[in-house]
Structure 1
Amino acid sequence: MPGALRPMAEADTPPLLQLVDLELGRMFHVERELGGSAALPTELEPPAAAATVFGDRLDIARRYCAALATAGVERGLIGPREVPRLWDRHILNCAVVAELMPEGTTVVDIGSGAGLPGIPLAIARPDLRITLVEPLLRRTAFLSEFIEAAGLDITVVRGRAEQSGVMKEAGGADVVTSRAVAPLAKLAQWSLPLLRDHGRMLALKGVSATEELERDGEALTRAGAGKFEVLECGVGVLDTPTVVISAERLPRAERTPRRRTEKVGSRRATGRPEGGVLRRNTERRRSSEK
């Protein structure tokens, strides 16, 4: 049954961060820092941008990186080839999306997997109220163990976004995030029901985001979404900004009426979503608002 998960009892398994420290020592032959966590191998040391993004919570981010590189790989949550690029491609790539979220935003991260983007968001912005939704037990076990060990205020719900139990527990969110979960049309079916009216679906995508939005924009409109944008986060902080597709859940009164079902064999012209696709970066938006 879907529901908030309790971390495993201490008697059942050692705390995950203790396992991370032990594993780092075994795998990388590193010395334990005085009064701190195990030193990271060079490839896992945070880049300069990490201090900007995480501030005084950088040590939590370092431990999350170490957890992904060790337990995350062993449990099949992260591929071994991803370890050298955990910071740039995964952790920082996710954390900078927090710039789209006002203080106190309620966030539901669907298909959270190893906690991306939810855990980096929670580390960078402890004011966010975050729920991770993930159906697989081995993943939710990892998430719950790390959250408990790191002292993060995050809820983990085991289940699929479309399940009624998940909707009851996590519905009404300000923002629903997703990363590498599904095509945009499918994401809309899973994300929009979890949002309040005028809440936003934020899908982390790659360089083909504009093309994907043009392809699936009509499906988003039919699902009840509007105000589509392609945004860039982390401009001036990351070498490669994070590309995010944003779509707002419209109240029923503002939605485009559904068209009648067409006869088989007919063709309908396709075009850009209503209002077109707007691409901009959040740095330029903030400058214009000053």
Structure 2
Amino acid sequence: MREVLVADPLEEPTAEAREFLGLAFGALARLAELLESEGELRGLIGPRELPRLWSRHILNSAAAWSFLPHTGTVADVGTGAGFPGLVVAAGRPELEVHLVEPMERRMDWLTEVTEELDLDNVVLHRTRADELHGRASFGAVTSRAVAKLDKLTRWCGPLLQDGGEMVALKGERAQVEVDEAEHVLRKYRMRGVAVHEVTVPMTETPARVVVARKRT
């Protein structure tokens, strides 16, 4: 007989995770429901990633919250299914969050979810990050699983206001990427580059957040 593969169930957020996410939990729980029902079908998230949706995607994205400005504008480059952009918008409602994504089907999803979650602090841009160079600037630019730091700096650096910060969620090779991007970081006047480790619930290893500030 042919073996039928059954997907693992979606992990349940712990009490610690709920506390960590605070007032944003309700909106993010709805985001998780929508991704569980539609994410794979719409090509937004792989079947192997769905069971780890809370730990690997939602909580990991929330690690960026504490590195963002208190007010102002944030652009999320290559936001995809909404990580970290939608999580930032839900958790930091005082910020105006610009989701930058060139793919039409992903932009359709972001439009629908933004309305469903009633996120009135979101602005959508169906475009590539480099097409916004010279047209827009932001107090911070976030990204997650988009590109290596050298390429990412070329995309994000021109979008930052003076004093603005690039906040990039990275994996275990974060420091290696920083070292390899040293020349590009200097070229785009990115100073005080540091890799921060953030402990988030439901994860065995800390989230790694690369932060760099643009200076003239």
Give yes or no for TM over 0.5: yes
Amino acid in structure 2 at the alignment position of 1:45? E
Amino acid in structure 2 at the alignment position of 1:52? E
State how far apart, in whole Å, the 1-side matches of 2:116 and 2:51 are.
24
User: Match for residue 60 of structure 1?
Assistant: 27
User: Match for residue 193 of structure 2?
Assistant: 228
State how far apart, in whole Å, the 1-side matches of 2:58 and 2:200 are.
16
The total of aligned residue pairs comes to 209
State how far apart, in whole Å, the 2-side matches of 1:122 and 1:223 are.
27
Change in Cα spacing, 1:71 to 1:192, as seen in structure 2 (3 Å) is same
Does the CA-based 8 Å contact 1:53-1:96 persist in structure 2? no
| Residue 120 in structure 1 maps to residue 83 in structure 2 | no
User: Match for residue 151 of structure 1?
Assistant: 118
User: Match for residue 107 of structure 1?
Assistant: 74
User: Match for residue 131 of structure 2?
Assistant: 163
- TM-score, normalization by structure 1: 0.68
State how far apart, in whole Å, the 1-side matches of 2:65 and 2:89 are.
9
User: Match for residue 172 of structure 1?
Assistant: 137
| Alpha-carbon RMSD | 2.0
Bigger relative contact order, structure 1 or 2, given CA contacts below 8 A and separation 6+? 2
Alignment of 1:35-46 (within 5 A): 43-46=10-13
List runs of 5+ in structure 2 lacking aligned partners.
1-6
Amino acid in structure 2 at the alignment position of 1:152? L
Question: How far apart are 1:236 and its partner, in Å?
Answer: 7.5
Alignment of 1:15-30 (within 5 A): none
Name the SS for the 1:162 alignment partner. Answer: helix
Name the SS for the 1:202 alignment partner. Answer: strand
State how far apart, in whole Å, the 2-side matches of 1:196 and 1:158 are.
21
Sequence identity of aligned pairs in percent? Answer: 41
State how far apart, in whole Å, the 2-side matches of 1:96 and 1:155 are.
22
Of Structure 1 and Structure 2, the greater strand share is in 2
Question: How far apart are 1:207 and its partner, in Å?
Answer: 1.1
| Residue 136 in structure 1 maps to residue 103 in structure 2 | yes
Amino acid in structure 2 at the alignment position of 1:98? W
Amino acid in structure 2 at the alignment position of 1:135? P
Amino acid in structure 1 at the alignment position of 2:45? I
CA deviation map 1:73-102 (0-9, x unaligned): 111010011011000000000012101123
User: Match for residue 91 of structure 1?
Assistant: 58
For the pair shown, the structure with the greater C-alpha radius of gyration is 1
Change in Cα spacing, 1:111 to 1:199, as seen in structure 2 (3 Å) is same
